[in-house]
Structure 1
């Protein structure tokens, strides 16, 4: 009986602590499964059946990416005005309709218009979800919930890609379109789950305690510390570009490693991320601990780049395999630390009354890295070979130093808790400014 109780205790400890955080976790899994299905077949669909050339597809996605980047902060402002939950509900419906509309696209102009309208919502999804977490969850469970989101997203993408592989074996237009339908349906499921979360209204500054009004909040672009950590975060996120875009090309074109090593490396990263991201958040619960984690992350990423360079200088497949696996492990653990620290830093430095727009602005760094990162890294490596990795390596500690400058004089996280109209979860730890009212947590 004691053993059974212990097993149940360990299982409960491995799951999100509250009903709302569990809903958030399920949302992450379902949404990423749909997105994984779409991403696995979208490029082939548009070039085979949508009337686009590969060049037009790339240009169209770049245009849509810029539109999404430009509208991220305005979407965050809407979340501050109407509450993140309400805006997420609109986003879910918009994305469901948009992915169905992709099936009617024929030609470049229709693709650019449809993709741009979708990217407005796609780019807003991550900061809006983080803003909702910030409004509904406090204490260590907040960062832990973000860890669950990232772990389950990785798992969902893998499942989605696998399902897409089964469908794409036929190569028919109908099979591709079912992937689009599956993605649209996933957002309808997410809509229902978000509807079940507690309602949270617009964020409000604490006039009585601080004598401030929400209108007095400094815009993020005028907060030099926040601009510094946002820029640093964007550069640190080059690890995503390295993993998703650069790694397969580097292994195939610049090393003596067998091609199957690409699958081994990507699978290893996915497994470690799924199992390790939540654990990584355990000791990152303050601005100081997040700053230290960013520094350690930069060291690991620097060493990963050195190992990648060594893999390109290798003359044997055995040495290439060993150095590539070493680089992958260093990159993965650096990635886990950076993700956890970036959540805590962005929460801690976002004023409560403007959390939506601050988190959206912070996410612009990630979006910029996602758009420009692959091109910059591939340009360096194509021109310098393994030596290009050494230049990339230096960028990480420099970024960590810039992040430290932005956080070093900031007071302890006091403005990232839920608003006075939100209800923090019963298992959540009240923030330093939280009112002594019942609590809830959410996504």
Structure 2
């Protein structure tokens, strides 16, 4: 009986602690499964059945990406005004309709309009979810929930890609269209689950008394500490671009490693992320601990780049495999550590009354790295070869130093997130 209780306790301890955090985590899994299905087949669908060339597809996505980037902060302002839960409900319906609208796209102009309207909501999804976590969950469980979100998103993408692979073997237009329909349906499921969460109203400052007007919130662009932290984390987020875009091309074109090593590396990263991201949040529960974690992540990312450089200088496939796996492990643990520290930093530096717009602004750094990162890194490596990794390596500790400048003197009174002992935001009655 004792062993059974111990097993149940371990299982319970491995799950999100609150009802709200469990719902948000499940949403991440469902939404990423749908997105994974869509991403696996979207490029082929648009070029085969929607009348787009590869160049037009790339240009259209670039235009849509800029539109999404420009509207991220306004979407965060809407979250502050109407509450993140209400805005997410609208976003879910918008995305469901938008992905179905893709099925009617014929030609470049229709694609650009549809993609741009969708990217407004797609780019807002991450900061809106983080703002929802910040309003509903407090203390150490807040960062832990973000860890579950990231772990389950990686798992969901893997499942979604696998399901898409089954459909894509037929090569028929109908099979591709079902991937779009499945993605749209996933957002309807997410909508239903978000509806079950408590309502949270507009954020208001806590340091005002009755009859007093709340203090004006400084826009994030005018908060130099927050701008510094955002810029630094944008550079540190290059680990995503390296993993998703750069790594496969580097292995295939610049090393003597067998091509199947790409699958091994990506799978290893996914497994470690799913199993390790939540654990990585355990000791990051304050601005000081997050700042230290950022520093350590930059060191790991630096050595990962050195290992990548060594893989390009290797003359044997065996040594290339060893150095690539070493680089991947360093990159993965640096990625996990930085992700956990970035959540805590963005929460801690965001004023509570403007958490939505501050988190949205912080996410601009990630979006910029996602858009420009692959181009910059691939261009550098194409010009300099393995030596380019050493240039990239230096950028990580420099960015950690910039992040430290932005976090070291932040007054405690301005830290946004409620502390471990703080009360959660009151929720109005109703679903």
Q: Same fold (TM over 0.5)?
A: yes
Cα distance change of structure 1 residues 220 and 212 upon mapping to structure 2, 3 Å threshold: farther
Contact 1:61 1:112 in 2 (8 A): yes
Cα distance in structure 2, aligned partners of 1:436 and 1:254: 52
Contact 1:61 1:115 in 2 (8 A): yes
Contact 2:199 2:429 in 1 (8 A): no
Contact 2:76 2:124 in 1 (8 A): yes
Contact 1:311 1:324 in 2 (8 A): yes
Cα distance change of structure 1 residues 5 and 369 upon mapping to structure 2, 3 Å threshold: same
Q: Secondary structure at the match of 2:425?
A: coil
Cα distance in structure 1, aligned partners of 2:18 and 2:429: 6
Deviation at 1:306, TM superposition (A): 0.2
Offset from partner CA, 1:187-219 (integer Å, 9 cap, x none): 000000000000000000124369975561100
TM normalised by structure 1 equals: 0.94
Cα distance in structure 2, aligned partners of 1:265 and 1:179: 26
TM normalised by structure 2 equals: 0.97
Contact 2:93 2:188 in 1 (8 A): yes
Cα distance change of structure 1 residues 73 and 433 upon mapping to structure 2, 3 Å threshold: farther
1:287 corresponds to which residue?
287
Cα distance in structure 1, aligned partners of 2:138 and 2:17: 12
2:423 corresponds to which residue?
435
Deviation at 1:411, TM superposition (A): 3.0
Deviation at 1:311, TM superposition (A): 0.1
Cα distance in structure 1, aligned partners of 2:215 and 2:45: 47
Cα distance change of structure 1 residues 62 and 98 upon mapping to structure 2, 3 Å threshold: same
Cα distance in structure 2, aligned partners of 1:242 and 1:212: 50
Cα distance in structure 2, aligned partners of 1:318 and 1:218: 55
Cα distance change of structure 1 residues 285 and 210 upon mapping to structure 2, 3 Å threshold: farther
Cα distance change of structure 1 residues 413 and 168 upon mapping to structure 2, 3 Å threshold: farther
Cα distance in structure 2, aligned partners of 1:254 and 1:89: 46
Cα distance in structure 2, aligned partners of 1:175 and 1:406: 49
Contact 1:18 1:440 in 2 (8 A): no
Cα distance change of structure 1 residues 97 and 7 upon mapping to structure 2, 3 Å threshold: same
Cα distance change of structure 1 residues 168 and 441 upon mapping to structure 2, 3 Å threshold: farther
Between 432-441 and 40-49, the greater mean CA deviation after superposition: 432-441
Cα distance change of structure 1 residues 226 and 413 upon mapping to structure 2, 3 Å threshold: same
Deviation at 1:439, TM superposition (A): 8.8
Contact 2:138 2:423 in 1 (8 A): no
Alignment length (residue pairs): 431
Residue segments in structure 2 that go unaligned for 5+ positions in a row:
none
Deviation at 1:433, TM superposition (A): 8.4
Contact 1:349 1:416 in 2 (8 A): yes
Cα distance in structure 1, aligned partners of 2:152 and 2:425: 31
Offset from partner CA, 1:85-110 (integer Å, 9 cap, x none): 00000000000000000010000000
Cα distance change of structure 1 residues 396 and 9 upon mapping to structure 2, 3 Å threshold: same
Cα distance in structure 1, aligned partners of 2:214 and 2:321: 55
Deviation at 1:319, TM superposition (A): 0.2
Residue segments in structure 1 that go unaligned for 5+ positions in a row:
420-431
2:134 corresponds to which residue?
134
